[in-house]
Structure 1
Amino acid sequence: MKYILLLFLIAVEAKLRIYLTDTPLQRIGARIYKKKLLTDQFKSPKELTYDSSSRNLFFMYMDDVIQNSGRAVINVITKQAKKIHGIEKNKAIAVDPDTSDVYFGSEDGLYKYDPVTNEARNIGLYNVNIMKLVVRNNEMFLLDANNHMLYKVFNEGKTAVKLINMKTVMEFEIDDNRDVHFVTMCGVYCAINGHEIVKNTDLSVVYNFIVSDGRTYGVTEDGIYALDCANGTARMVADLDFIPRSMTFGDYGDIYYSEDDFIYKLSPISSYLVYNVHRNVK
């Protein structure tokens, strides 16, 4: 089946531009992507987290059997998906980019994923309600769902120390420079190397952060922004005509996002033929 995308450009001479592809197309900013469905077998998937070494995409979903949130994983090449056992009521996931170790956060602490048994095992912080996890630069950080404050984790998940004295934190990320990007009820902020706090003057809310190729991006309702921590500014790099529940970057320019009960893969189109049909406007 062929899909046709029509773009109309109004000028002195009307021009009809046609792209002919074997999959649906999705435009993000100035780039065009092939859009493929990865799965529609999970309810309300979010917290998409990609592991480059295994080509696995981990995510959270609402499980009707356990009557709570569960975890699952899908291979983006084979599209084989499976539920992860051993954890319930989980809220967070993080992949160590250096070791590919996978961690989950739950109401009763920190879990580590065993890919051989496909189970998650509780390893510490049993009294912490973990809302968000980040592992970067061989360090682990978490957001406590009870007090909405940020902590740095030590001793392989045995202890946690307050990172910055900011309350009502709803979302955060650590970039490659160890800058702390976070969102509170009062706006979007960045703590330079975890210390000097700068408020972003361009954005009031970010739904999730993405760190890729040394840059930090914020996903909002209307687009993707490149964030400048030191200057407290944001520059739109791509507009969006959809609102993703969750979004993350993969390899080779791929983008993964969830919407409703669907997870999609967007692959950039590097070359294509464009047929322009001209007709005079009277």
Structure 2
Amino acid sequence: MKLLFFLALVVTIKGAAVSNEECDGISINGTYYERELLKTNLDRPYSLAIDWGTNILYFSYSLQPTDDVFKSLKINLNTKEYSEIDVENGFVHTVDQKKHVVYIGTAKGIYKYDYATNKAEPFDVLESDIWEIFYKNGVLYYSDFPEQFLYNLTYDEKSRVEDLDYMKIIHFVIDDNEVMFYTNATGLYSQPKGSKDAYLYQQLENGDKVRGLTLNIKGYVYACFEDGIYKINTATGVLEQILEIDDAFGVAFDASNNIVYSDATSVYYLKANKDKNCGG
């Protein structure tokens, strides 16, 4: 695919977050967030997704550092209760926010998890090793490994996402304006659905610096890089770092736009406290 790049010079803005040890929290763009440790002693907690209706966080972590063996876990952000989901090798997660259904990509295809019944059932007959997954407006997008081509799945009908041709996709989301955001080995891009014109936000080498893409409640896209969380500012065409993290692995937003993020060993909850002023 021939990409039309509208950006000659990539710009990244850093330094929007300020830590405050005395308050044990973080100030982001003038708003103070109290930081809470949700779970620790995990190996690379990854693929964070939150059901905004139930305030349940879903993610995976590695069971064995030397092997590709993963486990899906859920945490109730209200009660802090957590439990593992009974699905083999759960790796990536996405949520149907209207029906409160979670789709889990595993080494043996896609499973559909029902919060009400606490059961995960096979959703398809692909039996593929799922690499990435994203749900929006009745369509489930996914890529498998090792091919990493992007497909959509609607009413059990599988088809290739033609706008991306034979491009290998690492991470993928679609915003509220029907613009696709994705990473591959060469960069972080946006591209309107129905178009093959791509906008380059950040050049990458092997795509390994980005560890996830997500949407907040307002439909804005954020990227988790290994050095922190960035807002993708579509108005200015630049990345804005909102939070610096050492070895970040994932990010998600709850229904109040509070932030959940993970580093190499732990998962944290940042809850806004507008009545508290700790500087920054």
Query: Are the aligned partners of 2:228 and 2:248 in contact in 1 as well (CA < 8 Å)?
Result: no
**1:199-214 paired onto structure 2 within 5 Å:** 199-204=199-204, 206-212=210-216, 213-214=218-219
Report the counterpart of residue 232 of structure 2 in structure 1: 226
Query: Are the aligned partners of 1:218 and 1:227 in contact in 2 as well (CA < 8 Å)?
Result: no
Report the counterpart of residue 158 of structure 2 in structure 1: 160
CA distance in 2, matches of 1:181, 1:273: 35
How far did 1:41 drift? Answer: 5.5
1:252 paired residue among 251, 256, 276: 256
The alignment yields a C-alpha RMSD, in angstroms, of 2.6
How far did 1:133 drift? Answer: 1.0
How far did 1:201 drift? Answer: 4.5
**CA 1:241–1:129: 2 relative to 1, 3 Å:** closer
Report the counterpart of residue 5 of structure 2 in structure 1: none
Query: Are the aligned partners of 1:26 and 1:34 in contact in 2 as well (CA < 8 Å)?
Result: yes
CA distance in 2, matches of 1:166, 1:202: 21
**CA 1:201–1:114: 2 relative to 1, 3 Å:** closer
- One-letter amino acid of the counterpart of residue 270, structure 1: K
Report the counterpart of residue 238 of structure 1 in structure 2: 242
Q: Which runs of 5+ in 2 are unaligned?
A: 1-19
In the alignment, is residue 34 of structure 1 matched against residue 40 of structure 2?
no
Query: Are the aligned partners of 1:46 and 1:245 in contact in 2 as well (CA < 8 Å)?
Result: yes
Report the counterpart of residue 4 of structure 1 in structure 2: none
- The structure carrying a bigger strand percent of its residues is 1
Q: Flag as ranges the 4+ runs of structure 1 deviating above 6 A.
A: none
Report the counterpart of residue 267 of structure 1 in structure 2: 271
Report the counterpart of residue 106 of structure 1 in structure 2: 106
Offset from partner CA, 1:75-113 (integer Å, 9 cap, x none): 01111001111x212321110122111111112211111
CA distance in 1, matches of 2:172, 2:71: 22
How far did 1:209 drift? Answer: 1.5
Q: Which runs of 5+ in 1 are unaligned?
A: 1-17, 276-282
SS at match of 2:123: strand
How far did 1:242 drift? Answer: 3.6
**CA 1:219–1:234: 2 relative to 1, 3 Å:** farther
Matched length:
250
CA distance in 1, matches of 2:77, 2:88: 24
Query: Are the aligned partners of 1:224 and 1:239 in contact in 2 as well (CA < 8 Å)?
Result: yes
How far did 1:217 drift? Answer: 2.3
Moved more, 194-203 or 182-191: 194-203
Query: Are the aligned partners of 2:141 and 2:150 in contact in 1 as well (CA < 8 Å)?
Result: yes
Query: Are the aligned partners of 1:171 and 1:208 in contact in 2 as well (CA < 8 Å)?
Result: yes
Report the counterpart of residue 4 of structure 2 in structure 1: none
Query: Are the aligned partners of 2:152 and 2:158 in contact in 1 as well (CA < 8 Å)?
Result: yes
CA distance in 2, matches of 1:114, 1:91: 17
How far did 1:199 drift? Answer: 3.0
CA distance in 1, matches of 2:118, 2:68: 20
How far did 1:263 drift? Answer: 1.1
Report the counterpart of residue 70 of structure 1 in structure 2: 71
Please say which structure displays the higher CA radius of gyration: 1
Moved more, 182-191 or 219-228: 219-228
CA distance in 1, matches of 2:115, 2:123: 16
**1:5-84 paired onto structure 2 within 5 Å:** 21=23, 24-40=24-40, 42-63=42-63, 68-84=69-85
Query: Are the aligned partners of 2:32 and 2:277 in contact in 1 as well (CA < 8 Å)?
Result: no
How far did 1:239 drift? Answer: 4.4
The higher-RCO structure (CA 8 Å, 6+ apart) is 2
TM-score (norm 1): 0.79
Offset from partner CA, 1:221-253 (integer Å, 9 cap, x none): 254132429x8x224152425442111111323
In the alignment, is residue 216 of structure 1 matched against residue 221 of structure 2?
yes
- One-letter amino acid of the counterpart of residue 77, structure 1: N
**CA 1:256–1:114: 2 relative to 1, 3 Å:** same
TM-score (norm 2): 0.79
